[in-house]
């Protein structure tokens, strides 16, 4: 999700480089400003956020394993 459509291309390029995915793997971009913010964005993430959908059970559980590993590593 992004706060402004002006930065869409740059953000997609950023997430492509981070994830290693090609452009066709990205679907529609959402632009969101919270109703409670009264259209004023005080702090925003420079590259937006990414929503990951995994359609392969093997890859899904591999990712869950990586996340659990990193959580344990951060607790130490």
Q: What is the pLDDT of residue 10?
A: 86
Q: Is residue 70 classed as helix, strand or coil in its secondary structure?
A: helix
- Ranges of residues in the chain whose predicted pLDDT is under 70: 1-6, 33-34, 36-43
Q: What is the pLDDT of residue 26?
A: 85
Q: What is the pLDDT of residue 11?
A: 85
Cβ neighbours, 10 Å, residue 25: 11
Domain ranges of the chain: 5-37+47-75
Q: In angstroms, rounded to a whole number, what is the distance separating the alpha carbons of residues 44 and 26? A: 21
């Amino acid at each position: 999700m992004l706060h402004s459509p002006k930065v869409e291309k740059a953000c997609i390029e950023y997430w492509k480089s981070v994830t290693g995915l090609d452009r066709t793997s990205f679907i529609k971009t959402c632009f969101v400003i919270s109703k409670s913010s009264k259209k004023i964005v005080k702090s925003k993430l420079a590259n937006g956020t990414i929503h990951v959908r995994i359609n392969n059970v093997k890859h899904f559980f591999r990712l869950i394993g990586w996340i659990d590993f990193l959580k344990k590593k951060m607790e130490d």
